[in-house]
Structure 1
Amino acid sequence: MQDHDAPRGASAAPPDASHLFPAATPSAALLSGHDWTGSSLGPLPQWCPALRAAASWLASSPVPKWLAWGDELALVYNEAYARILGPKHPTALGASLRTVWAEAWPALEEPVTAALRGEGVYREDFQLQVQQGDTVSPAWFTFWYTPLHDEQGVVRGLLATVWETTDKVKAQQTLADKQAALQTLAAGNLKLEAERLAQRQEIAERYRLAALATNDAIWDWQLADGQVVWNPALARLFGHALEHTDAEWWLSHIHPDDRPRIETSIHAVIDGHETAWTGEYRFRCADGHYAHVFDRGSVLRDAQGRAVRMIGAMLDLSSRKAAEAALRYSEQQFKALFERIDEGFCIIEFLDGPHGPMSDYVHVLANPAYLANAGIANVVGQKVRDMVPDEADAWVDIYRRVLVTGEPVRFERELVKTARYLELAAFRVEPPELRQVAVLFQDVTARHRAEMALRELNDTLERRVAAEVAERLRTEEALRQSQKMEAVGQLTGGIAHDFNNMLAVVLSSLDLLDRKFLADDPRARRFVDAARNGARRAAQLTQRLLAFARQQPLKPEPLDVNKLVAGMSDLLRHSLGGGVQLETVLAGGLWRTHIDPNQLESAILNLAVNARDAMPEAGEGRLTIETANCHLNERYAAGHPGVQAGQYVMVAVTDTGTGMPPDVVAKAFEPFFTTKEVGRGTGLGLSQVYGFVRQSGGHAKIYSEPGHGTTVKLYMPRLMGDVVVVEDVEQAPAGLHGDGQELILVVEDEPSMRALSVESLQELGYRVLEADGAATALRLLEAHADIALLFTDVVMPGMNGRKLADEACRRRPGLKVLFTTGYTRNAVVHNGVLDAGVHLIGKPFTLDELASRVREVLDAV
């Protein structure tokens, strides 16, 4: 007989539900189609593996099952259980078990609590008060509760298999009542036989109706013809959509290994005088797999005691068997863990003794690691007062408090008997009536002794700590100084950037004024020259600021520093004058470095001039320039923020001058700081040297003492790898003016600077087109195929000069490009180094410098 009960609340599973609930499982659509986001469980993909595994197993079962998970005991169930819930479905999905079964909770709380403690719970024909419409009435259920553990082994919920047996219980009650009545009638006269027969028929009919309603597979075996009548649960539980079979069909579906035993036992009951039969066997389901069943039946006999019918019920034990297997596996895991863990473990049970109630305890369980950690063997059965009588009071007090309060404890204590220092954790074993406490511990004697030794060592570390604190303060001061220098560098770099643009307008205007209008006016030319000299000095000042800020464009190349220092001898002697003796100490086998030679030469000359000014004017001083290979180690680098440990080429400039006190040394590299009188220095010489060396990846250090001179050491990174020497190719000098035919496109967004650039180039003999931005420049390039040079500012709104040049060269391969800018940290200079193949003239520039640079770019091959 087929089961025509359609599942309620089911919906089509979303396309991505198959990975958790395969479509073949009976309840996949119900569970995957539900919106779980509003429940305490959260969306399905966020369920933990243990919850997902339990839900998947539940979904694949045709038997009514539910699980409750988490502190809220959120409910998950299959379609078979949805029919038991009735109108409570589907709102019960994800709701709290306490809320869904609020009317039955007083009776359910005890078995649920027991399962959450980790106990398996089985109740048969358990009476509950159930809400049915507006009334609460009794109903009977048979169920099995199994604890659910998470991945850490903690009980987080329970799994339930449920059969409603209300109809069966009522039928049994009715049958018992009728049987009692029949027995009374049987003791009477025979004229009531017809009435007794009618009553038996009525009982049979009611039993048939009850069999249709129960969740057990009820069978009624007519022994005369061998026909068996089944209720619809046969289809729900085992998939056989049948109502009538014969006994052979039933027996043929019993596992071949179980059938002889079952046939023998059932015929022994039928052929004997017993009425009750029970058996446990494996029954083949419609899909071919075997379900574990518990079967029980009762034999009905006629007045002569002959067996005429046998009525029974098959209970599916598959979930219980799975739970038992899981329990066995859990027990095996516990045993393996108990035997193999390194920590000692024991369970103690408190006893009443001569010293009072719970004044002693005995070891009822201990693992092999107990001996390894505590040093005491064969403790099971031993009392603590016999094991360690001198220490027993203290141990009893600690563990008795755990037993009485139920609060776990962690502590460390010495086991004096074995001179072991133990780290212990203890908790009460439930229920409290067991009077047991579990203890987990490990031997930490070695660690304890090390800690004691460390404490003793710390008592002698005061001087070392003071030294370390002083070193840290020195390092922090160096870091603050480095950060201050960095901040000053950013400020001065920004000032120099804006100042350069203003000076460019001033110098270009003065050059054009001199060239065009002052040829016959010496007095006016004298004023212009004075203004021009002032502007050039201001330009040098901004250049030094940019050097300190590490924003000047460098052209580094492999360099032999010994060769550079030797080549500077004449220049240095001329700069130092006759009163200063110059010495050079050049190291043999000096490594090469990768640095801008012109800037290094300028730095050495700057240091030499500073050294000359620090030596007394009367008498002779001595200046020594020394080179050497050096290695700055990690310790040195840690004390000097920004310095990388490694190999360096060192140049040291030492003088025999007056020297500097520490406070002056600390500020010597700062811009505008000088000890010279007004008019003898700008305070930018050493700051320029400092910025150049740091921009080159190096390090500068001053060693000085009043009355003992000063040494400034420049450390430049060693050039690693093979050195490729590029010979300079001399080019024939060319004229610096245009021939009136070459066409130059000027791109500048600043109107005054653009006008002066156009005027200057026209003055130099070039034809000029002008554009105020990239869009106009590209249109002019398309319109004038004879443009020979693109002269563009780098920093412009929208498309900058570098992007404009790239696009122009893509359209006009071979186009010459000359960049100009007052700020070098931009698209054509990276890490302080000018990009390869890039021609740049920095603002401000003179008319002669512009003429030379334009001619150089135009004549380049």
Structure 2
Amino acid sequence: MSTDLAFAERTLVLTPHGRDSQLAQTMLDEAGFRSLVTPHLPALCEALEQGAGLVIIAAEALRGADLEPLLRHLDQQPAWSDLPIVLLTQHGGPEQNPASRFSPLLGNVSFLERPFHPATLISLVSAALRGRRRQYEARDRLIDLSQSELRLQRTLETLEQQVEERTAQLRHNEEALRQSQKMEAVGQLTGGIAHDFNNMLTGIIGSLELLRRRLARGRTEDLDSLIDLGVTSANRAAGLTHRLLAFSRRQSLDSKPVEMNALVASMGELLQRSLSESIQLDMQLDPQLWVAEADPNQLESALLNLVLNARDAMPHGGRLLVETLNQRLAPDFTEAHDNLAPGDYVLLRVSDNGCGMPEAIINRVFDPFFTTKPIGQGTGLGLSMIYGFSKQSRGHVSLNSMVGRGTEVSLYLPRFGGALEQDEDPQTQQPLAAQNGETVLIVEDDPAVRVLVSAVLSELGYAFLVAADARSAMPILDSPQPIDLLISDVGLPGMNGRQLAEIGRQIRPELKVLFITGYAEHAAVRGGFLDPGMQLITKPFTFDLLTAKVREMIRD
């Protein structure tokens, strides 16, 4: 509907018979109201499209006429509009009760019976136009409101764009900060770990070089000390590698039921020897402690690391407390930590009354390669290794400290939920050597490892076959050659060792498999990687462990 001011308040008149139209227009003109007389209903509807403030229609103009255009126009009015209509009726005429017919159709209708007094018409028109003006005011307010909403929407869109740009900038800054922290970590790695590795490699290479020189000269005395030196350095390097893997949660865990009290008690003498005489070691072990589920070797390493950290925090002596407790974690606690489910946990807590740490240090203690010790005296992987071990074990670690009051580290490990196996009676140790000419298939891509494993098994009387990759091993598995055990690296080129084992078991359903690996992401938790009849050992491993595993698996 048009809102042109020239048409907004005009009165449209439709009285097709007699002089009603001229009389009504004359009265309206004398009262100062603009009007337009229309000859028929279609002309009235056409004029309505341009705009009107009021319509005066004689009732007889509607009888028998096509009302659809008029009704459609009224139905399509905007929400603010309710066009007033004055319906002229005839006293004593055939249209005795026009309200009953036209009121529901036309909506805002007033009735004026003819003959009417001019003052009555003008009064009715004035009231109708006042109502129409209020409609226009409502329209204007709606327009203002709509424009305000549009301006607000544009402002919000601008704010959203600014927020998005600011968020993108913050993310960019965060990424730059993260990259900077990575570079700082690499710097700490080169300053600490590389220093330690160089010392360890010097011990390994130096001892081997001295062995070669002495053997070349025929000197065989005192070789054991050189061998011990090389092995000690190699074991230190292996331990450092395991700590790196523990931090990255890529170590291979052999989780099993652990009696934590027995484990802590068995380490008592070692822990006491690691402390100075000025430090008092106390143990408070819960006699009703639940059985935990964890890798016992990694748990021992974590406890030793915590005790050594506590020792370094008490250079002038103090009290070190090792506790075990049962702990039930509620959802309101676990929801704040990733990878932690509500339930029962076994708690190992190590507390000291040493120097403590300020908050700035507490916020970084679990960061990789962060250490407060001088270069060469710490790699910064102790607590980060414990953090990675706890997360990989579906547990949690927390640290509380106060300067001058001491530090408390709590390691939460999940409670074991299965049935405990009964320990078998000790039996006579089985010999490691082959007893019936057993045959082992060795699949290893590293030539040095392949040669060493073959040599060790050969010395024990095992027959062996070797392959450098899965493709070379497939024809052997598919042949009639008896194979008592498959030893395979996990990270083979092409088809990996796990896939080779799957195919091998399709050919030989009873095939036993021993995996050896230095890094295997999918073997990080053995329970999800190994099927029955499969075991795994990680590099570097001792040959005593290798031969014991081979004998155990073949005997079973």
Is the structural similarity TM-score above 0.5?
yes
Offset at residue 679 of structure 1 (A): 4.6
Report the counterpart of residue 657 of structure 1 in structure 2.
Answer: 354
Offset at residue 738 of structure 1 (A): 3.7
Question: Size of the alignment, in residue pairs?
Answer: 414
CA contact (8 A) 1:348 1:365 kept: no
Offset at residue 639 of structure 1 (A): 4.7
Equivalent position to 1:840, from 516, 536, 546:
536
Q: Aligned pair in 2 of structure 1 residues 400, 782: CA closer, same or farther (>3 Å)?
A: closer
Offset at residue 399 of structure 1 (A): 2.5
CA radius of gyration, larger in: 1
Tell me whether 1:600 sits opposite 2:302 in the alignment. Answer: no
Offset at residue 656 of structure 1 (A): 0.9
Tell me whether 1:688 sits opposite 2:385 in the alignment. Answer: yes
Could you say what secondary structure the match of 2:522 adopts?
Answer: coil
Report the counterpart of residue 669 of structure 1 in structure 2.
Answer: 366
CA contact (8 A) 2:512 2:534 kept: no
Equivalents in 1 of 2:390, 2:529: separation in Å? 13
Letter paired with 1:622: R
Report the counterpart of residue 154 of structure 2 in structure 1.
Answer: none
RMSD value, Cα: 5.1
CA contact (8 A) 1:548 1:671 kept: yes
Tell me whether 1:400 sits opposite 2:139 in the alignment. Answer: no
Long gaps (5+) in structure 2 = 1-41, 50-67, 87-101, 112-122, 124-128, 147-169
Counterparts of 1:39-438 in structure 2 under 5 Å?
Answer: 348-350=82-84, 399-400=135-136
Q: Aligned pair in 2 of structure 1 residues 640, 792: CA closer, same or farther (>3 Å)?
A: closer
Equivalents in 1 of 2:474, 2:278: separation in Å? 61
CA deviation map 1:30-74 (0-9, x unaligned): xxxxxxxxxxxxxxxxxxxxxxxxxxxxxxxxxxxxxxxxxxxxx
Offset at residue 526 of structure 1 (A): 4.8
CA contact (8 A) 2:516 2:536 kept: yes
Equivalents in 1 of 2:306, 2:274: separation in Å? 11
Normalising by structure 1, what TM-score? 0.41
Letter paired with 1:755: V
Letter paired with 1:545: L
Report the counterpart of residue 796 of structure 1 in structure 2.
Answer: 492
Offset at residue 709 of structure 1 (A): 0.5
Q: Aligned pair in 2 of structure 1 residues 810, 351: CA closer, same or farther (>3 Å)?
A: closer
Equivalents in 2 of 1:730, 1:685: separation in Å? 36
CA deviation map 1:604-632 (0-9, x unaligned): 22211221221124xx4111223334454
* Higher fraction of strand: 1
Tell me whether 1:851 sits opposite 2:547 in the alignment. Answer: yes
CA contact (8 A) 1:547 1:689 kept: yes
Equivalent position to 1:627, from 306, 319, 324:
324
* Higher fraction of helix: 2
CA contact (8 A) 2:83 2:108 kept: no
CA contact (8 A) 2:291 2:415 kept: yes
Q: Aligned pair in 2 of structure 1 residues 783, 645: CA closer, same or farther (>3 Å)?
A: closer
Equivalents in 1 of 2:524, 2:548: separation in Å? 21
Equivalents in 1 of 2:224, 2:261: separation in Å? 45
Offset at residue 396 of structure 1 (A): 5.6
Equivalents in 2 of 1:822, 1:540: separation in Å? 13
CA contact (8 A) 1:347 1:366 kept: no
Offset at residue 538 of structure 1 (A): 0.9
Tell me whether 1:758 sits opposite 2:454 in the alignment. Answer: yes
CA contact (8 A) 1:557 1:595 kept: yes
CA contact (8 A) 2:185 2:369 kept: no
CA deviation map 1:355-376 (0-9, x unaligned): xxxxxxxxx9799xxxxxxxxx
Q: Aligned pair in 2 of structure 1 residues 365, 732: CA closer, same or farther (>3 Å)?
A: farther
Counterparts of 1:733-812 in structure 2 under 5 Å?
Answer: 733-738=429-434, 741-783=437-479, 785-812=481-508
813-822 or 635-644: bigger deviation = 635-644
Equivalents in 1 of 2:335, 2:512: separation in Å? 48
CA contact (8 A) 1:366 1:380 kept: no
CA contact (8 A) 2:85 2:109 kept: no
Equivalents in 2 of 1:687, 1:547: separation in Å? 8
Q: What is the percent sequence identity of the aligned residues? A: 41
Equivalents in 2 of 1:719, 1:398: separation in Å? 78
CA deviation map 1:530-549 (0-9, x unaligned): 33332221111101111111
Tell me whether 1:548 sits opposite 2:247 in the alignment. Answer: yes
CA contact (8 A) 1:554 1:834 kept: no
Tell me whether 1:614 sits opposite 2:313 in the alignment. Answer: yes
CA deviation map 1:841-861 (0-9, x unaligned): 2112233333333233223x2
CA deviation map 1:229-265 (0-9, x unaligned): xxxxxxxxxxxxxxxxxxxxxxxxxxxxxxxxxxxxx
Report the counterpart of residue 530 of structure 1 in structure 2.
Answer: 229
CA contact (8 A) 2:352 2:408 kept: yes
CA contact (8 A) 2:390 2:396 kept: yes
CA contact (8 A) 1:553 1:834 kept: no
Letter paired with 2:402: E
Could you say what secondary structure the match of 1:700 adopts?
Answer: strand
Could you say what secondary structure the match of 2:484 adopts?
Answer: strand
Normalising by structure 2, what TM-score? 0.60
Report the counterpart of residue 26 of structure 1 in structure 2.
Answer: none
Equivalents in 2 of 1:560, 1:380: separation in Å? 92
